[in-house]
Structures are given as C-alpha cells and as structure tokens.
Structure 1
Amino acid sequence: MTQPDSTPIPTDFCLALAQEAAETAKRFFRRPIGIDFKADESPVTQADRAVEALVRERIAAHYPDHGIVGEEHGIEGADRGRIWVIDPIDGTRSFISGHPLFGFLLAHLDRGVPQLGLIGMPMLGETYLGLRDGGASCNGSPIRASNQTMLELATVYINEGDKIAAQQPALFQKLLRIGRTRRFAYDCYPHALLAAGHVDVVVDYDLKPYDFLALRPVVTGAGGVLTDWQGRSPGLDYEGPVVSAATPELHDAMLEILKDHPAPALRPGG
C-alpha cells in the first residue's frame, strides 16, 4: 500500500472545492437536464456527473497520490492510505424535483478513518465542516450539538421513512412514538441540523459510504455521535442504516430501540 505523508488537508482547499461544486450544481438546478436511472433505479443527472468530474480534477491536481471514491465515477487508488469520498449531489431526487435541500458531500480518510467531513448546501449558502480532532463549523462559525439527553423530549428526524415503513414496519411504528417532535426527511441536511444543535436524533436508512462518511466528522466534531444501528463506526466497507444523536445518552436510547433491527453484514471483500 502506498504510504503518503500525513500532512493535514488545508480546510481552505475543501471550502473552495465546495464553493465550486455549489456553483456547478446551481447552473443545472430547476432547468431541463438529462436524467438516467441506474440499475437500482436511483436517478443520475448531468449535474451529478459534472460536479464529480470537477471535484476529481481538482483533487487529482493537488493530491495526485491520494485515492478517490465517487458515487458516479467509481474508485481510483483504493489501496492508497489517503482517500477522498465524494457524493456530488446528495439527494438527486430532490434536485430533479426542484427541492432545494440537496447537498454536496466530501470526506477525507486517512487509512480508513474520516479526518475531515464537509456538508455543502448549495441553495442555502451553508457549508458545514467537521474535523476529527478540531470541532465543527457552519460558514466559519463554531457549531455544537444540543445537550438533550432525554429521548421523550428530543426532536427526531426519520430519514427514508418510506423505505423503513415498507421493509421494517414494526420498527417504523416504534419510531412514530419516540421523541417530542418528529419530522420525515431525506439526505444529509438533518445530520447537519443535528450538528448545529437544532435536531437531537436522526435515524437514517439504506446508505452507501459516500452518503455517510462526510457526516461523521461533522456530527462528532460538534460533540454528537454517529454509528450504525449496532453502535459500530461505519467505514468504506459498510452499506446500511446509521443513527446520529446529539449526546451519548440519546445514542444509547436509540440503540436500545434499534438493536432488534440489525444492520446488514459488511459487504464481501469490504
């Protein structure tokens, strides 16, 4: 395995990359664009491909010895010690329906561990940045998860609720009874809201590595917790559900609810 140096990635580079990605995505938003459907029936657009191509080009120019994993263009240099993970349009279904809560996700891993995560919200003008050992911010201002410890008082977001209802109806009924306030949502933004202290719990379902790896440093940098449904830290070798919580107490309470609905095993060869 190539062993690149461990020099920290400049946050200015990542923020500039997020700005370019946002400008590219906005050029396609609410305009006629080509839409294809992949084998799993998930949509992909010209915007997805254009954003990812741009980001890959910038990373390759600045860090040619790093690997890149992207949703649309696959894996390059998977055996390298430092890897970037890209989701160019997190929420393509939102994007193609004119809904502004799609995001841009970028993670940087050092030997499999996310060191930096970025959640960009192009149409909101918000960029959330989290560092494994350096806190979290939104547009440069520090953010912090809430100190809520009581699940019955929590604000809970349920992502991909339609899939949970269809595939795990008993669990879905349980989720409808937790917390003081519940909202249904999709994609990355609820996790950003948790890191910023507005949401206390996010239950998420049916994710790929590029969907959650950028979220981890943002949530944990803000003082929260993000794991799979068994309390494990998910990496590049994981696909499945995750749960974010503002405090360890809320996280423990959620794991107690989710423990009878196990996450799938790691992918073969992962």
Structure 2
Amino acid sequence: MTESQSILSIPLGHYLETAIHAADQARAVTQKWFRADLKVASKQDKTPVTIADRQTEQAIKDIVLQRYPDHSFFGEETGQQLNNDQWQWVIDPIDGTKCFATGMPTFGTLICLLHKQAPVIGIIDHPILDERWIGIQGCQTTHNGKVCCTRSTDSLDNATVYTTSMDMFDGVSGKQARALTKNCQFRVFGGDCYSYGLLASGYNDMVCEADLKPYDYFALIVVVTGAGGIITDWQGNQLTLESNGEVLASANESLHQQAIAKLNEF
C-alpha cells in the first residue's frame, strides 16, 4: 500500500491528503523566504505581516479551493470566504511572524478543517525544524508519523507552563495568568504554536495564552486532544469561532481543572 493509499483509507482521508499536500506546498514558500531580506509591514490591528505570509496563505488557498470549490475558507491574511456552512478551512500561514521575520525557526503553519464549525483535522507544521503534528478526529495524534501523547503531571507545582509573550495579556488577564504561573514549577516564554506541539508530545504540561484568533487555535484543538490533552477557554468552555481569544491547553483533565481554578480566583 502506498502512502497516499494509506492516507485515503482512514476517516476523512481525502481531506487529510489535501491538508498534507497544502502543508508541503506551504513549506516550499516559507523555506524560500526564511532568513531572506524581508520587509515587515504592520496590518490595521498592528500585527506584522510579510510577503511570505501572503504567498503561503495563497498557496494553501489555491490548493484547497481548487479541490473543494464549494468549501468555505478563513485565512489570517485573506479573511473569510463563506461558500458552505458545513465545511470550512481555517488557516494561519505563518503562526509566529515575529519569529519568522527575525530568523527564529519555531514559527509554524496551521491548517484546520471544520465540519459544522467543529475541527476534524488539524496540522501544526514547522518547515525549518522538519516537525509536523497531525490530529484527526477520532484518531491518535502523530508527530512525524509516530503516535504521541501528553504527560501525566497531576499538580501545578510540578507543571511547566508555556506562554508566547506577556504582551498578549491586558491588566486583568495578566493578573490571572500570573496567578496561574506563579503556582507552577516554572514558566517558559516564546514558542507560538510550537508550544502546543511540544505539549502533545509530552515535553511540557500547559500552555496559557490570550488574544488569539480562530486561525491561531483551531488546528491546535485536534492535535492536543488527540494526544490525550484538553484545550478550552479560561472558563473551561469549548473553543469556537466566537471565543474571546483566551486559550488554556493542559496535558490532562486534572491539571486543567486546577489551572482553571487559579485563573478564576479573581
């Protein structure tokens, strides 16, 4: 059986094959531009963007809509194209543009397919590090083709918590985040979507972030849960298109509930 036949034999296989092909093509674009002489512009929301972000998203969009012209598409750079309320692709071409633009290899590409607004396929791809996590609804998450799982840490004082930057928190959410992280063994800054891949592979215990958009978190949901973890908003609610951007991912349910309690002490 060929690799393509193997992929097509699993649930959602034809969609997964498209997602993997899109991730491969996205790699070609980001690898070409990585550590090149890039101009970094600011969008209206003050977040950075480069030609690599736009070209990577367009490459993914072309592949997806050529194969499924009736599907909807929601990308960070091109916005929403609503064609179908059943199937929607949600894309972040370069999660971690600041890292990408400054030569840090931990940026990633996020590809997710929603069915009736629920994520069923999620890919976290790191082109320079040659690491890829794939999550599929009802299946175990894989890292570079091998099944991975989260850690069994069961108390905050033994937990490692990641957050990309304290800049993502405002006054209130900053106090909440500090209330959580000061009760953990230690916290690590940076990582963007790489932190969630590491969580799925059992290298850290928790990721706590805010100010995220749907294209920042949807792909992560399938990857984290398929590895045995849990990911919600800070109140423990399911993440949706309407969530407020606060995201908590934990290695297991026990740790998650302890973290939610700390976040909501105020």
Superposed CA deviations along residues 84-142 of structure 1, whole A, max 9, x for unmatched, are 00000001111111111100000000000000110001110001001121110011110
Deviation at 1:165, TM superposition (A): 6.8
Aligned residue in 2 for 1:40:
45
Could you tell me which of 91, 96, 118 is aligned with 2:96?
91
Q: Which stretch has the larger CA shift, 171-180 or 103-112? A: 171-180
Distance 1:239 1:173, change over 3 A: closer
Aligned residue in 1 for 2:8:
none
SS in 2 for 1:115: strand
The one-letter amino acid of 2:192's match is D
- State whether residues 81 and 112 of structure 1, in contact with CA within 8 Å, keep that contact through their aligned partners in structure 2: yes
Aligned residue in 2 for 1:250:
255
Cα distance in 2 for residues equivalent to 1:221 and 1:126:
17
The one-letter amino acid of 1:155's match is T
1:63 equivalent in alignment to 2:68: yes
Aligned residue in 2 for 1:185:
190
Structure 1 gaps, min length 5? 1-5, 262-270
Cα distance in 2 for residues equivalent to 1:217 and 1:119:
10
Query: Superposition RMSD on alpha carbons, in Å?
Result: 1.7
Between the two proteins, what is the percent identity of the paired residues? Answer: 36
Superposed CA deviations along residues 46-100 of structure 1, whole A, max 9, x for unmatched, are 0000000000000011111111000000111254210000000001111111111
Structure 2 gaps, min length 5? 1-10
Distance 1:186 1:198, change over 3 A: closer
Aligned residue in 1 for 2:143:
138
- State whether residues 75 and 215 of structure 2, in contact with CA within 8 Å, keep that contact through their aligned partners in structure 1: yes
Aligned residue in 2 for 1:77:
82
Could you tell me which of 10, 20, 24 is aligned with 2:25?
20
Q: Which stretch has the larger CA shift, 230-239 or 43-52? A: 230-239
SS in 2 for 1:128: strand
The one-letter amino acid of 1:189's match is Y
Cα distance in 1 for residues equivalent to 2:144 and 2:15:
16
Cα distance in 2 for residues equivalent to 1:239 and 1:9:
32
Deviation at 1:166, TM superposition (A): 5.2
Bigger fraction of residues in strand: 1
Deviation at 1:9, TM superposition (A): 4.1
SS in 2 for 1:207: coil
Between the two proteins, the alignment pairs up a number of residues equal to 256
- State whether residues 95 and 192 of structure 2, in contact with CA within 8 Å, keep that contact through their aligned partners in structure 1: yes
Deviation at 1:161, TM superposition (A): 1.8
Aligned residue in 2 for 1:3:
none
Deviation at 1:17, TM superposition (A): 1.5
Cα distance in 2 for residues equivalent to 1:200 and 1:72:
31
Distance 1:31 1:167, change over 3 A: farther
SS in 2 for 1:240: coil
Cα distance in 1 for residues equivalent to 2:51 and 2:238:
33
TM-score by length of 2: 0.91
Deviation at 1:187, TM superposition (A): 1.4
